[in-house]
Amino acid sequence: MRYELLVFDWDGTLIDSARTIVACIQAACRDLELPVPDDARANHVIGLGLQDALSYAVPGLAAEDYGRVVECYRRHFLARDPEIRLFPGTRAMLAGLRERDHILAIATGKSRAGLERALDNTGLGPFFYASRCADQCASKPAPDMLCELMTELGVEESQTLMIGDTVHDLRMAAHAGVCAVGVSHGAHPRRELAALAPLACVESIDELTRWLTQNA
């Protein structure tokens, strides 16, 4: 085993939620008569904490308006949340990694409440030993999530691998001194992920499963 600890992003990596997040950001801005970000701008913020995401998605948004946008976004997202599905093969991949005695964890831009709801909805909670969310510590691309997980689980940087679908995931890994694999079936295009030189850039859960089986 080369990597004892495998840390997964959630949205766009394990679950097919990127398009829903973009639509909910845009719907919230539309409801509140704010400038509506285009798909590329809204896609870019996936993986960030909500406040960091909104500051980029809606430039010039007044501080006093953050709460209104967050609440409106959450209302739209909760209405669609039950329809969001795991990428095909996700459950089998995680089960196989656990059988090989990897330690699995999550580092996500979701809130703690949002992640717990998602884990309950999907039934994936038992696969993971630990997790960090954007309302617990500094958001991606700061290294804090990975550093805290490694400390909690007693695993060194050289034995940790980050898997994510955004440049924020890959930059967080680099800042933490951790290797990374990019997945291009989520929010950010392959060319942006490949530019940050991950160990690999895969296009599906099946390809990720094969890569991890052979290399992790």
Total residues belonging to the chain: 216
> Cα-flanking dihedrals φ and ψ of residue 106, to 5°?
-125, 140
Q: What per-residue confidence (pLDDT) applies to 172? A: 98
Q: How far apart are CA 69 and CA 60, in angstroms?
A: 13
Q: What per-residue confidence (pLDDT) applies to 51? A: 76
Q: How many CA atoms lie within 13 A of 95 on its CB side?
A: 5
Low-confidence residues of the chain, pLDDT below 50?
A: none
Using an 8 Å Cβ cutoff, are 84 and 21 in contact?
no
Q: What per-residue confidence (pLDDT) applies to 1? A: 78
Q: How far apart are CA 73 and CA 91, in angstroms?
A: 28
Q: How many CA atoms lie within 13 A of 11 on its CB side?
A: 28
Active-site residue identified among 9, 52, 165, 169: 9
Catalytic residue flag (residue 9): yes
Q: What per-residue confidence (pLDDT) applies to 115? A: 95
Q: What per-residue confidence (pLDDT) applies to 45? A: 87
Catalytic residue flag (residue 101): no
User: Which two structure tokens, joined as six digits, stand for 159?
Assistant: 């034995």
Contacts of residue 155, defined as CB under 8 A and 6 or more positions apart, other chains included, come to 4, 5, 103
3-state SS assignment for residue 175: helix
How many of the other CB atoms lie within 10 Å of CB of 101? 8
Q: How many CA atoms lie within 13 A of 84 on its CB side?
A: 26
Q: What per-residue confidence (pLDDT) applies to 13? A: 98
Q: What per-residue confidence (pLDDT) applies to 67? A: 87
Q: What per-residue confidence (pLDDT) applies to 20? A: 94
Place of tokens 């997964």: 8
Q: E strands of the chain, at which residues?
A: 5-8, 103-107, 130-132, 160-164, 179-183, 200-202
Digit-coded pLDDT (tens) for 46-91? 888 777 888 888 888 887 888 899 899 999 999 998 889 999 999 9
Q: How far apart are CA 181 and CA 162, in angstroms?
A: 6
